[in-house]
Structure 1
Amino acid sequence: MSNQPPDRRRSSELRMNGGSAALPLGRLSPGALAAQAREAIRTGYWARLVPLYGALAVLTHLPSFARTVWSPDEGYLATQARMLAGGGVLYDTVVDRKPPLLPWLYEGAFALFGSTSLWPLRVLAIGAHLATAVLLAAIARKRWGNRAGAAAGALYLLVSIGLSPEDSQAATFEVFMLPATAAAFWFAQNRRWGPAGAAVAAASLTKQTGGAVLFAVLWLLRQDSRRPGGSRPRTSLAALAFGFGLPVTVIALSTGVKNFAFWVITGSSEYASLDGAWLNMLGRAFGNAAILAVAALGLLVPLARRWRRVREDADLWIWFGSSVAGVITGFHFFGHYYLQLIPPLVLLGVGAVARGAARWKPVLVYSLAASAAFVALGFLWPHQPLQHAESVAAEVTKDTKPQDSVLVWGMHPEMYWLADRKPATRYLTAGLLTNYAGGRDPESVGVADGMANAWKTFDAEMSEQLPEVVVDDSAGAPYAPKYIAPMRALLAAHYQRVGTDGSTVIYRLKDAQTCRVPA
């Protein structure tokens, strides 16, 4: 037995293992964890790496600050946040088919920094990417050593913008989901099942498909229980279930269990369906996959050289496979869905390079070049959709008072936020009332296809207070008023056409005295 003091022996063990713990983190006491943190700082690995990652995260996401809003999802979240700040109630007067964490984050950022700009959310999104990079570096470092760890975080940041800029530069659900998914895997790899469950819950409460990482966590738990000296499966499962169940239960109770279950789980059944224009959806699926493949080609080539050795990283392949299932869910294949694939894909590629399938230099050089091209693309991306939304919003602002309500009949809720006007309905897109989404067949879009009781609620809202202005942004889509009888009747009875902006038609209430309609 060594005569060294315990702390010195522990430091020696840490140095012998490249600065990582000689024992799984789940077995270390708080004092040992503190000693590990001190040793990590002393050796300088993270002290050097994290600032470098921070600079890389900022550089790769500089285009995110180049425009007011990148996507309708940002507009939806920003409008929701204003409604919540104005007294709205989540899953009652403020609704969406998404979990609550990101609307609350937007609301909190607006409370601190004001609601006229999304720059605080863009900064937080960069922080989310940085956290994901650090966690992936920690996972790779424990598996393949210091160099692989450093490369994993850097390669994640380079590949994370490898989609169309409106998908990769926006501060939306997938970006904030990724740190929690990486944390869940990191905790599971280190046999800390309670925190792993909590991280899975955090991912799921940001976006439902974030829960896909649970399959990899369960695989790691199963493998650990089979090892000599491994944890007891029942105890580990109980810790995992408690870690997951506690935050989900608390949030479900705080928002109302029935409403939470409907809007987060059961209410998405119509959206996540096989109905759709299959050629359109398949084109989007393969197109976005091809864009990501170009960005990640430096990792895909060495990975392809080792495809026969899948068992070496079965847990990572399960994480990747479950993430693919998350992308497929709903059969819409929007580009931002593919962000979920990047963390496990990067780790698989790094593992292949670390085992000799390629040299680091060409992988990093290609990834740097591809990332530079995507950064340039972010600055050059067409502004026409945003310019149109800003133009319509300016017309709405000019034609209404701050206290007036507005109805945007379309799929661009950012118009509410840009105009700084209160939505006349809790349904911020026509999709919630008609089941429309990108690629949906006209046959599956209509009044009867909307969410349960949505039209009844909408009629009650219109009976209480008609909006001063209606913006018809349908542009001949399957949910255009000419196809939707209630909207057609509403416009005919109470509104007159007062202007157009491109394909968008603006209607104004015929008589201010009709603002209140008897129920």
Structure 2
Amino acid sequence: MIGQSLLEGKVLYRDLWDNKPPGIFYLYAVTVKLFGPVMWSVGVIDLVCLFAISFFIFRFTKQYLGTAPAVVAVVFNTTWHVQGGNLYAAQPETFVVLFVFAGYFLVANKDGWAVFRNAGAGLLLAAAFLVKYNALAFLPLITLAPYLDRAKADAEPHRVGIRIPWREWLPRAGILVSSFLAAVVLALVLFWISGSWESLKEIQFEVLPRYAAEVFRAVPLYWVWVLEQTTFTLGSWTEAVAAAALLIAWKQRELGRCAPIFLACALSYVSVTMQVRFHDYYFQTCLPFFAMLWGYVLEKAYGGIRALLRKFAERRWQLARALVWVLVANVIYWPVPAQVAALAVDYVALRDWWRDRNLFYATSPWSRPIDHFGDQLRVIEYVKKHSTAQDGIFVWGTDPLIYFLAERRPPTRFVTNLGLVSPWSPPSWHDELVRDLKSRPPRFIIVARNDQVYFITMTEQDSEQYLRSFPALAEYLSRNYRPVKDFVNLVVYSRREPGPGAP
């Protein structure tokens, strides 16, 4: 919805509230420009990005590990991404990974034009940074990994070095960093020119740190919880594979071969921890690189099995060879039924979506508990039927989808109430909202139920319940609006018509 409003001339942060960095909304604006206000546009963009990221994963892995591990890495990353469903679709992390890979390959290209390639890589890193600030963690991957002298990592003693003289590397890195800084400064200047600097400063430099810090109060054993979230999202098998990959590379003197991948894994995990909160989709910056470690370990496991089979063949242990093949067949078969079943379900879902998109969204088993797509679509239909494009609406809830699909606009910059029901937001925002509603009363106000997002707002109350903690809004609603339609999880209030003789 914010991307759509940007195309209409609204200014981010001043006219449209969100606490995310600015870059992602301009990418969403491009998406809306290409496809219009339709829900499936996110899926198309996500699919295109997934193909591009898969291409980069293959090239990156093949460069260091070979073709077979590269294919395995693509399969694992794609599977993980698809399993994430709409929660992973076109998230900022998707674009961060895409820009980081593009920047890396621009620097790693050996066709000359080093100055322009490094300047371009700096611009790509700036784009990633403006999409998600934690992208800065990948700076060493772009500036150092393409030049690593991998042979030194396996020499005795183990050393770290680069293939070119430091006096040659420093100017290249300087150009990249200068390009990065110039792009970021230019973006800030443009916000200042647009009159949005004060709003940006308040949201990004004052409120956002409080938003991040609030989790320390909510989670007493924070670092224990971090480890739990990491294991829950990556999986204990992936953690074990990462440890096994490091051990194998050290034992077989292949630390140099795997060094860029280990570096990428470490930096990507740092990029997750920098955000303090550990939402599942944050780990999308890690998954491509941990998928590469799966490729490396499975390649080594295959080589070990072949060596074992050769030994058994030399000793004529036919039964042992057969048992090894039985074991391998079971290991290969173990994930197949679940993946085949999941793929079949996905194709059935695609068929249902093609036949009736609204019915699919309303009954989708993959939606989050707070989405209530069925009720949202019914509200959208009601609003479009009983109002015009000039009539404003206001959604007191956590999801701005109704604005987007109904093509109706709110009279305030608070397109969601996430920043209004949270302890990390300034009290002045409550006054600002009520003032906006009074100055431009919307035709309808929609109040959401069962939409609480505790780990963002730090409150167990849903939007309707929170009205008891926001008496000014509750009073304005009861005096000026009346309920006209109850859709279980969303209640539509219509503005009362002034009585005879009213001013």
* TM-score of the pair, normalised by structure 2: 0.71
Match of 1:124 among 41, 45, 53: 45
Give the CA deviation at 1:197. Answer: 2.6
Matched with 2:208 is 268
Matched with 1:278 is 219
The yes-or-no answer on 1:171 pairing with 2:90 is: yes
The yes-or-no answer on 1:469 pairing with 2:391 is: no
Is contact 2:448-2:462 (8 Å) kept?
A: no
Matched with 2:103 is 184
Is contact 2:207-2:425 (8 Å) kept?
A: no
The yes-or-no answer on 1:305 pairing with 2:292 is: no
Matches for 1:151-300 after TM superposition, within 5 Å = 151-163=72-84, 165-168=85-88, 170-187=89-106, 193-217=118-142, 220=145, 223=148, 226-227=161-162, 229-232=164-167, 233-256=169-192, 258=197, 259-275=199-215, 277-278=218-219, 286=228, 289-290=231-232, 292-293=234-235, 297=237
Is contact 1:302-1:358 (8 Å) kept?
A: no
Give the CA deviation at 1:510. Answer: 1.8
Change (3 A) 1:105 1:395: same
The yes-or-no answer on 1:395 pairing with 2:382 is: yes
Matched with 2:317 is none
Matched with 1:92 is 14
Matched with 2:313 is none
Q: Partners of 1:197 and 1:124 in 2: how far apart?
A: 24
Max Rg structure? 2
Q: Partners of 1:291 and 1:229 in 2: how far apart?
A: 39
Give the CA deviation at 1:508. Answer: 1.9
Matched with 1:138 is 59
Say which SS state the counterpart of residue 496 (structure 1) adopts: strand
* Percent identity of equivalent pairs: 19
Matched with 1:103 is 25
Give the CA deviation at 1:390. Answer: 1.5
Say which SS state the counterpart of residue 252 (structure 1) adopts: helix
Is contact 2:53-2:97 (8 Å) kept?
A: yes
Give the CA deviation at 1:139. Answer: 1.1
Change (3 A) 1:210 1:374: farther
Match of 1:481 among 458, 467, 476: 467
Change (3 A) 1:374 1:215: farther
Match of 2:433 among 452, 458, 466: 458
Give the CA deviation at 1:241. Answer: 0.6
Q: Deviation per CA, 1:494-515: give whole Å up to 9, x if none.
A: 222333221433222223589x
Say which SS state the counterpart of residue 160 (structure 1) adopts: helix
Is contact 1:402-1:421 (8 Å) kept?
A: yes
Give the CA deviation at 1:219. Answer: 5.0
Is contact 1:352-1:358 (8 Å) kept?
A: no
Say which SS state the counterpart of residue 434 (structure 1) adopts: coil
Matches for 1:24-35 after TM superposition, within 5 Å = none
1:450 alignment partner AA: S
Is contact 1:274-1:331 (8 Å) kept?
A: no
Match of 1:432 among 406, 419, 431: 419
Q: Partners of 2:499 and 2:302 in 1: how far apart?
A: 74
Change (3 A) 1:322 1:474: farther
Q: Partners of 1:129 and 1:82 in 2: how far apart?
A: 23
Give the CA deviation at 1:182. Answer: 2.2
Matched with 1:321 is 266
Matched with 2:2 is 80
Change (3 A) 1:493 1:247: same
Q: Deviation per CA, 1:407-438: give whole Å up to 9, x if none.
A: 11111111222333212221111112232xxx
Change (3 A) 1:119 1:382: closer
Q: Partners of 1:197 and 1:140 in 2: how far apart?
A: 23
Matched with 1:408 is 395
Q: Partners of 1:315 and 1:143 in 2: how far apart?
A: 8
2:409 alignment partner AA: K
Q: Partners of 2:269 and 2:75 in 1: how far apart?
A: 23
Q: Partners of 1:212 and 1:452 in 2: how far apart?
A: 33
Change (3 A) 1:228 1:210: closer
2:161 alignment partner AA: R
Q: Partners of 1:498 and 1:231 in 2: how far apart?
A: 71
Matched with 1:70 is none
Q: What number of residue pairs does the alignment pair up?
A: 420
Q: Partners of 2:343 and 2:179 in 1: how far apart?
A: 38
Give the CA deviation at 1:333. Answer: 2.7
Change (3 A) 1:187 1:86: closer
Give the CA deviation at 1:144. Answer: 1.9
* TM-score of the pair, normalised by structure 1: 0.69
Q: Partners of 2:403 and 2:301 in 1: how far apart?
A: 53
Is contact 1:391-1:501 (8 Å) kept?
A: yes
Q: Partners of 1:369 and 1:210 in 2: how far apart?
A: 37
Q: Partners of 1:291 and 1:215 in 2: how far apart?
A: 25
Matched with 1:381 is 365
Q: Deviation per CA, 1:274-296: give whole Å up to 9, x if none.
A: 436439998898478536538xx
Ranges in structure 2 where 5+ consecutive residues have no aligned partner: 111-116, 150-159, 306-327, 350-363, 451-459
Change (3 A) 1:278 1:267: closer
More displaced stretch, 252-261 vs 230-239? 252-261
1:87 alignment partner AA: G
Is contact 1:305-1:357 (8 Å) kept?
A: no
Is contact 2:147-2:162 (8 Å) kept?
A: no
Give the CA deviation at 1:374. Answer: 4.5
Is contact 1:197-1:243 (8 Å) kept?
A: yes
Change (3 A) 1:364 1:93: farther
Q: Partners of 1:284 and 1:513 in 2: how far apart?
A: 58
Give the CA deviation at 1:481. Answer: 0.5
Q: Partners of 1:267 and 1:470 in 2: how far apart?
A: 27
